[in-house]
Amino acid sequence: MKIVILMGSPNKKGSTSILVEHFVKGATEAGHACEVVDVCRMNIHPCTGCVRCGYEGPCVQKDDVEFIRAKLLKCDMVVFATPLYYYGMSAQLKAVVDRFCAYNSSLNSRRLKSALLTVAWNADDWTFDALTAHYKTLVRYIRFQDAGMVLGYGCGTPSMTWNSAAPGEAYRLGKRL
């Protein structure tokens, strides 16, 4: 299986990166090919809502979204990796997701598998409620096949993350695909 991980953390050595590394290790050991796309280092503009794409592209904006589009339309699985920023995904990843509208039908017909890898400083039981609701809505709307979520409660720093169960959960998620 070909897996594209949309890395939505601007912190290259942060907690989200730890989960991504462990997921990739497990998935690679299981025989899958993984590619991490660092959306925070790309030229991506927010959707303007002009709808000139007709919901099936091309987008009038000429940026790196076409690169991401090509990757997603050739893969078998997409993984959303993000720190929790004010109870949602990072703005960098959200800009990518918002631009899905320019190839909505193509994504919908792919029936891709998907997963969510996320971390947060907070450890309250409701910490990820808004983000998981958004992810589940994407899964339903785009007809992804949810393979699972790793919710790193209390993973506000790399040392907190290393001392949590989240890296092992990310590894096991990748390994069991």
Q: Which domains does the chain have, with CATH numbers?
A: 2-175 (3.40.50.360)
> Six-digit token pair at 70?
């090509």
CA atoms within 13 A on the CB side of 119: 30
pLDDT tens for 65-103 read: 999 999 999 999 999 999 999 999 999 999 999 999 999
Instruction: Give residue 132's pLDDT.
Output: 98
Instruction: Give residue 59's pLDDT.
Output: 87
> In terms of pLDDT, which residue wins out, 31 or 52?
31
Average pLDDT over all residues of the chain: 96
Name the region of 58 (left: φ>0; alpha: ψ -120 to 50; beta: rest): beta
CA atoms within 13 A on the CB side of 131: 29
Query: Which DSSP string corresponds to 100-151?
Result: GGGGHHHHHHH--EEEEEEE-S---TTTTHHHHHHHHHHHHHHT-EEEEEEE
pLDDT tens for 144-159 read: 999 999 999 999 999 9
Instruction: Give residue 158's pLDDT.
Output: 97
Proportion of the chain above pLDDT 90, given as a percent? 92
**pLDDT > 90? residue 55:** no
For residues 63, 48, 107, 8, the Cα torsion angle rounded to the nearest 10 degrees is 60
Q: What is the pTM of this model?
A: 0.97
Q: Any idea which of 74-88, 98-112, 127-141, 160-174 has the lowest mean pLDDT?
A: 98-112
> With bands split at pLDDT 50, 70 and 90, how would you rate the model's confidence at 47?
very high
